[in-house]
Each structure stands twice: as C-alpha cells, then as structure tokens.
Amino acid sequence: MFRLFRLWGRTGRDVRLLWYALGHRQRPLWLAPAAVLLCVWALEPLNFAVPFVGVVDDFILLPLALHTLMRLLPGEIRTGFRR
C-alpha cells in the first residue's frame, strides 16, 4: 500500500516532467504520440461504463504507465528538468 502512495506522489512530478519534455528541443520522436495515447487512455469511456475497472485503471495503471514513460526519456532531459 505504501508503494501505491509513493507512486501517486510521483505522478505530479512525472506530469511536470512530461510537460517539460514536450517543450524540449531534443525530445524523442515517440514522446508526443505516447503523450496523446496516455491522455486518450485517461479519458476513455470504459472508465465511465465499468466503474471498478475505471478506478483500477486510473489509480494504478495510468500512473504506472506515466512513470514508465518518463523513465524511458533520455538522461539529458531528466537532468535538465531537475535543475
């Protein structure tokens, strides 16, 4: 359970890193389509049709996918964000 809270805590930082990386001049080509797919996944209609699946999806899988996506970024973008 503690890991889940840590994951939620990192989500805000990961969203800010994603925003920074989208504006970076050396961003990878795959980043913009991946960000769009992540947004579509967050707003998918299945969240409203099946509430339990939507809760698991929004609170566990979506932050995990975002964090994994941010770990795939090049090191220079991540270190530039930390400064």
State the pTM of this model: 0.78
Contacts of 61 (CB under 8 A, 6+ apart): none
Q: How confident is the model at residue 69 (pLDDT cuts 50, 70, 90)?
A: very high
Average pLDDT, the chain: 83
Phi and psi torsions of 65, nearest 5°: -65, -40
For residues 41-62, average pLDDT: 73
Amino acid at 6: R
CB neighbour list of residue 35: distance below 8 Å, 6 or more residues apart: 18, 22, 69
Domain range enclosing 30: 2-82
Using an 8 Å Cβ cutoff, are 55 and 31 in contact? no
* Overall domain count for the chain: 1
- Residue 54, pLDDT > 90, answer no
**String of DSSP letters for 19-56:** HHHHH-TT--TTHHHHHHHHHHHHT-THHHHSHHHHHH
